[in-house]
Structures are given as structure tokens and as C-alpha cells.
């Protein structure tokens, strides 16, 4: 039986490419999108390539509602969930996010609502399905900008990049990874933070230096990690990051 993966924010960008690659690897893809028509359009493209893809509503602005509905749907059809990829994220492109002395509090709250609170709230109703899997994975798509160590390292390429809302929200997401991994330490559920790298997507107005394919590498790899792989870590395609 094919493994089942749910990917949020999968109708475009890195999420879509991850869906494409895991579909080619034989996974059944639950392609999460906030908008039903966009989700169906994205799913149709991947079905045309031969993948088993079902569009589903995954809206972090209505995280508990949509995750609870999805949990019921997945339970009825599959009885378990093998992989959850929390890919959906937000970065304030209006200029509200910025340095600690001037950042807009409203911009910070909006960013946290998606990148942290929404992700936690979306994950919780799905945990029984992940526990029910023979071997499950939770991947929280983070960023090197969420590393406190790299933010304070003058030799780091991230050193001068200080949008407080985004960086702090990803640091909080990393703490969720560590705490949930600890809680699930005696189960077959692995929980890790994954940094895709600075990839050209809508999130950064396509200013990233990596291709979408490069951005998907680590996520696709860890979605398929063996049972003896680590949990509670912070990884990118070329290695690990400090917290």
C-alpha cells in the first residue's frame, strides 16, 4: 500500500515540487491548499504526470477546523497518516516586518499566527493518525533565519538578515519541533525541522538563489528517512544547523 503524505501550502512553490517528487516516488499525495480551485488545478497537473494526488483544504487561518475535518477524512479512507509536511508559511512583504526597534507588532502577530500558532494547531488533530502509522514523519519547514546561533554568528550569511517577526516565528517553530520530538520519543514518529534554503518563491518575491527543485531536496529526503534516522533535529540539504 502506498504511503500517505499530507503537504500544506502545496499548490505552488516548494510544496508543489515536494508533492511532485513524492508522487513520483509512489506516495499518495494529499495536496493541501487554502483555496479549493487552486488546489484542484495543482492536483490535476500532477495527476496528468501519473501521480495519485487528492486536493484537500488546509488553511492555517482556520487550522483547527480544517485539520479536524481532514483527520476525519483521512481516518475514513486510510486509517493513518504516514507523513505530515508543515510547509505553509508567511513572510510580511509589505514592509511591516523588520528590525527589532521598528517592526510592526501587527505584522509580527500575523506572521506568528501562520508560522507558529497555525502550524501547531493544525498538527494536533492529526497526531492520532500519525501514531497509527507503521512509521511516521512530521517535517516542519523552517529556515536558517530561525537559528538563534546563526543570527548571532558574524560569519553566517544570515547575520545581517533581521526581520524579527519571521526569524522569531521560525525559532518558535523549531522549539515546537524539539518539544514534539521529545513527547513522541518512544513512538515511531520522527519530528524534524527542515530548512529548504534560500529558494526563489513567492514568499521572497522570487529573489532566492536556489531553484524550486533544490529547495525540495531535504524535505523529500527526510519524508523518506529510515526508522533509524534522527528525530528532533534541524537539517538542510547539505547537513545540519545549530538551534
Q: What DSSP string runs through 130-180?
A: HHTSSSEEEEEE--GGG-HHHHT-TTSTTTT---HHHHHHHHHHHHHHHHH
Q: Which domain holds residue 83?
A: 4-240
Q: How much is the pTM? A: 0.96
Domain with residue 198: its CATH number is: 3.40.50.720
Domain total of the chain: 1
| Non-local CB neighbours of 240 within 8 Å, separated by 6+ positions | 233, 234
Q: Digits of tens for pLDDT over the chain (243 positions)? A: 899 999 999 999 999 999 999 999 999 999 999 999 999 999 999 999 999 999 999 999 999 999 999 999 999 999 999 999 999 999 997 889 999 999 999 999 999 999 999 999 999 999 999 999 999 999 999 999 999 999 999 999 889 999 999 999 999 999 999 999 999 999 999 999 999 987 757 667 666 667 889 999 999 999 999 999 999 999 999 999 999
End-to-end CA distance of the chain: 37
pLDDT of residue 210: 72
DSSP-based three-state secondary structure for 67: helix
- Among the listed residues 3, 12, 162, 166, the single catalytic one is 166
Q: Which of 170, 190, 237, 241 is catalytic?
A: 170
Query: What confidence score (pLDDT) does residue 94 get?
Result: 86
So what's the pLDDT on residue 148? 97
DSSP codes of every residue in 72-136: HHHHHHTS--SEEEE------TTS-S--TTT--HHHHHHHHIIIIIIHHHHHGGGHHHHHTSSSE
Cell numbers at 223, concatenated: 519524508
| Known active-site residue 198 | no
Q: Is 159 a catalytic residue?
A: no
Amino acid at each position: 500500500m502506498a504511503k500517505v503524505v499530507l503537504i500544506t501550502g502545496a499548490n505552488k512553490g516548494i510544496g508543489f515540487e515536494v508533492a511532485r517528487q513524492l508522487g513520483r516516488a509512489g506516495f499518495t499525495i494529499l495536496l493541501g491548499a487554502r483555496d479549493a480551485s487552486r488546489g484542484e488545478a495543482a492536483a490535476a497537473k500532477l495527476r496528468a504526470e501519473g501521480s495519485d494526488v487528492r486536493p484537500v483544504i488546509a488553511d492555517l487561518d482556520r487550522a483547527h477546523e480544517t485539520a479536524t475535518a481532514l483527520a476525519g477524512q483521512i481516518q475514513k479512507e486510510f486509517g493513518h497518516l504516514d507523513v505530515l509536511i508543515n510547509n505553509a508559511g508567511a513572510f510580511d512583504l509589505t514592509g511591516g516586518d523588520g528590525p527589532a526597534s521598528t517592526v510592526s507588532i501587527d505584522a509580527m502577530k500575523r506572521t506568528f499566527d501562520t508560522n507558529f500558532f497555525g502550524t501547531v494547531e493544525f498538527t494536533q488533530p492529526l497526531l492520532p493518525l500519525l501514531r497509527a502509522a507503521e512509521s511516521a514523519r512530521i517535517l516542519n519547514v523552517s529556515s536558517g533565519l530561525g537559528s538563534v546561533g546563526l543570527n548571532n554568528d558574524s560569519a553566517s550569511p544570515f547575520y545581517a538578515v533581521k526581520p524579527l517577526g519571521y526569524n522569531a516565528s521560525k525559532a518558535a517553530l523549531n522549539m515546537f519541533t524539539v518539544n514534539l520530538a521529545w513527547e513522541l520519543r518512544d513512538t515511531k514518529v520522527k519530528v524534524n525541522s527542515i530548512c529548504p534554503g534560500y529558494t526563489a518563491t513567492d514568499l521572497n518575491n522570487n529573489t532566492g538563489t536556489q531553484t524550486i527543485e533544490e529547495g525540495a531536496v531535504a524535505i523529500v529526503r527526510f519524508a523518506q528517512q529510515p526508522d533509524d534516522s534522527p528525530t528532533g533535529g534541524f537539517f538542510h540539504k547539505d547537513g545540519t544547523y545549530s538551534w
